Amino acid sequence: MAHIDSMSAEWLPVSITPPEGDLEICVMDYDGIVVALGYPCHKSGAAWVDASSKKHIDIQPTHWRKWIERPRNRLQQDKA
């Protein structure tokens, strides 16, 4: 298995999702386009959880990478 910490920016297959930690997840939308979710998620057993709301989400991820907190853009700051 790959050393995950050294590849935080690289997208990895869901088959090697770690059991702990916040992740950036990609899913396929209704048009078949792969998109990254805009919030951190983590696994809870076989289920996925929105790390910020702690709610289970019904998704089928295509791949993942380690979540890296990014500065909010101005629009997000204005809404806060």
User: Of all residues in the chain, what percent carry a pLDDT higher than 70?
Assistant: 78
- How do residues 56-76 score in pLDDT, each as one tens digit? 999 999 999 999 987 765 555
d(CA 76, CA 37): 15
Look up the pTM and report it.
Answer: 0.73
Higher per-residue confidence, 30 vs 74: 30
d(CA 32, CA 42): 23
Name the phi and psi angles at 35, rounded to 5.
-130, 150
d(CA 9, CA 67): 9
d(CA 6, CA 33): 28
